Amino acid sequence: MDSVSLSEVTVMRKTHLGFMHSFRQPFSGVTISPKFCHSKVVGSRAISSSVSSTKSQYVYGESLAATADSDYKMNGLTLKNRISSVKERLLLDAFDDEYGGVVVDHGKLPSSPTVFTSMLQSSLSDWRRKGKKGVWLKLPVEQSELVPVAVKEGFEYHHAEKGYVMLTYWIPEEEPCMLPANASHQVGVGGFVLNQYKEVLVVQEKYCTSSNTGLWKLPTGFINESEEIFSGAVREVKEETGVDTDFLEVIAFRHAHNVAFEKSDLFFICMLKPLSAKIITDNLEIKAAKWMPLVEFVEQPMIKGDKMFKRVIEICEARLRHRYCGLSPHRLVSAFDGRPSSLYYNVVDDDDDDDPSHSNCRAEFY
Ligand SMILES: NC(=O)C1=CN([C@@H]2O[C@H](COP(=O)(O)OP(=O)(O)OC[C@H]3O[C@@H](n4cnc5c(N)ncnc54)[C@H](O)[C@@H]3O)[C@@H](O)[C@H]2O)C=CC1
């Protein structure tokens, strides 16, 4: 049951200011500009909500309806109040983004699909009137009953995670949709780990195609969300084989398309230095793991006949002979987005610089 009548509500004039800090949405690179939001608290439920939280119930933008001045008497005094008793519809809370669009505050969505329908329709009219462009609407899984409502209003799926689905709406009919598409890639890592006996760390996968059964291959896996390539490679090797390693360089990366549900795949082949030798196999993913002489590894028909792995081994061997140089991560903060990040590059040899640590190309690994 809806506790607020949306068709006609009396506006209790009460204004709050809320400061929305600037933040960048991970899904789209959308930066939310700092903005003061006016709140017109509407209806009984909204009032109690606004009392309990100073940041709640921000109604986006100005009232759709004009307010009316009126006089009324209380205790013999004539009070001049601007009381809105006109029809007004609640709008969804939303923040402006830097691209002229809005991001709906998913923390303040109404629970009722009926209320949501009305608020969404009113908000869309309001945003259209104000010349807004893209609309980002994140619906938590707990409120999945709101999804059909949004779809009916013309929203499209953008992406989904375990806890939510993100929908988008492009308002300008005369302009092409400029909203960025969902993430297009998965990111994998493979570890080339060679010990001082010229043995390479290899695994046999539990789940693989029949043609790869029995193949000894490099440990591979996917990096987690917000995980660095260098730490993801070290983690994957540790998980699959129990061997501790130090990250040295990204030796090469492969770019392939239509790999997983039409998504592309970036596969970073990393050179790692072993810090331990004992193998403890991860029984969930791996059938077996061992140190295998590099010559024996390369002689496997599947490796020998595979253009990618054959070339990878050649590159790794060239690296060991200082005939090739991979990319090593350098942590930095860019003023462009203020975020700490890793820039992978190699330092070109400088004949005047005698410090080998300044050049990853000259560093001795083994
Ligand atoms: N495995 C290989 O020989 C090669 C791997 N790569 C690259 O290595 C990276 C990682 O690939 P892989 O290690 O092959 O990953 P994978 O497909 O073996 O997946 C890693 C693990 O995730 C789990 N998993 C994945 N999909 C699943 C599903 N549908 N249901 C249940 N569990 C599932 C399994 O435990 C699996 O062992 C990718 O970037 C890939 O391109 C590149 C060339 C060869």
What ipTM was reported for this prediction? 0.96
Comparing 36 with 361, which gets the higher pLDDT?
361
Q: Tell me the one-letter amino acid at 31.
A: T
Bigger pLDDT: 32 or 104? 104
CB contact at 8 A, 97 and 130: no
User: What type of residue sits at position 232?
Assistant: G
Mutate which of 205, 222, 251 for ligand 1 pocket (most atoms within 8 A of beta carbon)? 222
Give the start-to-end residue ranges of the domains of the chain.
Answer: 11-170, 185-320
Q: Report the alpha-carbon distance of residue 239 to residue 281 in Å, rounded.
A: 8
Is the Cβ–Cβ distance between 141 and 162 less than 8 Å? yes
> Higher-confidence residue: 109 or 36?
109
pLDDT band at 359 (very low <50, low <70, confident <90, very high): low
Which residue minimizes the CA distance to atom 34 of ligand 1? 285
Tell me if 102 sits within 8 A of 94, measured CB to CB: yes
Of the two residues 45 and 187, the one the predictor is more confident about is 187
The arithmetic mean of pLDDT across residues 137-141, rounded, is 98
Asked, colleague to colleague, whether 11-170 and 185-320 share their fold, the answer is: no
Q: How many CB atoms lie within 10 A of CB 359?
A: 16
- Distance from residue 221's CA to the centre of ligand 1 (Å): 6
Report the atom number in ligand 1 closest to the C-alpha of 218.
3
Which CA distances in Å does 235 have to 224, 240, 283, 314? 10, 9, 16, 25
Per-residue pLDDT at 29 exceeds 80: no
pLDDT over 50 at 23, yes or no: no
Question: How many Cβ atoms are within 10 Å of 298's Cβ, its own excluded?
Answer: 16
Residue with the larger pLDDT of the pair 350 and 158: 158
pLDDT tens-digit series, residues 252-287: 999 999 999 999 999 999 999 999 999 999 888 899
Assigned token pair, 30: 């959308």
Compute φ and ψ for 148, nearest 5 degrees.
-60, -30
Amino acid code (one letter) for 260: A
Q: What is the mean pLDDT of residues 8-23?
A: 31
* pLDDT greater than 80 at residue 191: yes
The total number of residues shown for the chain amounts to 366
Instruction: Name the token pair of 285.
Output: 């993913």
Give which of 346, 354, 356 is closest to 315, Cα–Cα: 346
Nearest one of 99, 120, 266, 264 to 180, comparing CA atoms: 99
Cα-to-centroid distance, 189 and ligand 1 (Å): 10
| Distances 149 to 4, 60, 119, 145, 146 between C-alpha atoms, Å | 18, 20, 11, 8, 5
Task: Compute the distance between CA of residue 268 and CA of residue 262 in angstroms, rounded to an integer.
Answer: 19
pLDDT at 70: 38
Tell me the C-alpha distance between 262 and 334, whole Å: 32
Model confidence over 87-132: pLDDT tens digits? 346 999 999 999 999 999 999 999 999 999 999 999 999 999 999 9
Question: Quick check: 46 and 6 in contact, CB under 8 A?
Answer: no
What's CA 266's distance to the chain center, in Å? 16
Contact 30, 98 (CB under 8 A): yes
Condensed to tens digits (0 to 9), the pLDDT of residues 38-80 reads 222 222 222 222 222 223 333 433 333 333 333 434 333 343 3
Question: Ligand 1: which residue has its CA nearest to atom 15?
Answer: 221
Instruction: Pick from 185, 189, 220, 224 the residue to mutate for probing ligand 1's pocket: most ligand atoms within 8 Å of its CB.
Output: 220
Q: What rounded mean pLDDT belongs to the chain?
A: 79
Instruction: Tell me if 75 sits within 8 A of 88, measured CB to CB.
Output: no
For residue 22, the model assigns a pLDDT of 33
- Which residues lie closer than 8 Å to 170 by C-beta, 6 or more apart? 133, 134, 135, 177, 178, 179
pLDDT of residue 355: 64
Q: CATH number of the domain at 185-320, please?
A: 3.90.79.10
Please identify, in words, the CATH class of the domain defined by 11-170.
alpha beta
